[in-house]
Amino acid sequence: DTGVSQDPRHKITKRGQNVTFRCDPISEHNRLYWYRQTLGQGPEFLTYFQNEAQLEKSRLLSDRFSAERPKGSFSTLEIQRTEQGDSAMYLCASSSGSSNTGELFFGEGSRLTVL
């Protein structure tokens, strides 16, 4: 499968614990995005990388959230001291900067449940 892959698909954790999600984009894509989706809402932009550079962060991304893309390939999203309000689906997407088609290719998401 050559699409965007995310791991884990599901994570249940207790409030206060730290969690980390991983995203592997389509290999030739240099842009990588993280979105969050809660029930009844559309995906909300969290952050965006071009290669290893984090170019934009949403105000939704509090200081408990950190994202990295150290070698310009896979990315991780870490949430520290999780809260119940962090329960959501975390979506990763990638795109090719050279084509500029505007099409984002999404993974199947990582669902977080904070108890």
Instruction: Name the nearest CA neighbour of 78 among 55, 46, 53.
Output: 46
Residues 21/35, Cβ–Cβ less than 8 Å: no
The verdict on 109 binding another protein (CB under 8 A) reads yes
The verdict on 33 binding another protein (CB under 8 A) reads yes
The verdict on 48 binding another protein (CB under 8 A) reads yes
Nearer to another protein, 57 or 66 (CB): 57
| CB neighbourhood size of 25 (10 A) | 27
Which residues contact another protein (rule: CB under 8 A)? 3-4, 31, 33, 40-45, 48, 56, 91, 93, 95, 97, 100-104, 106-109
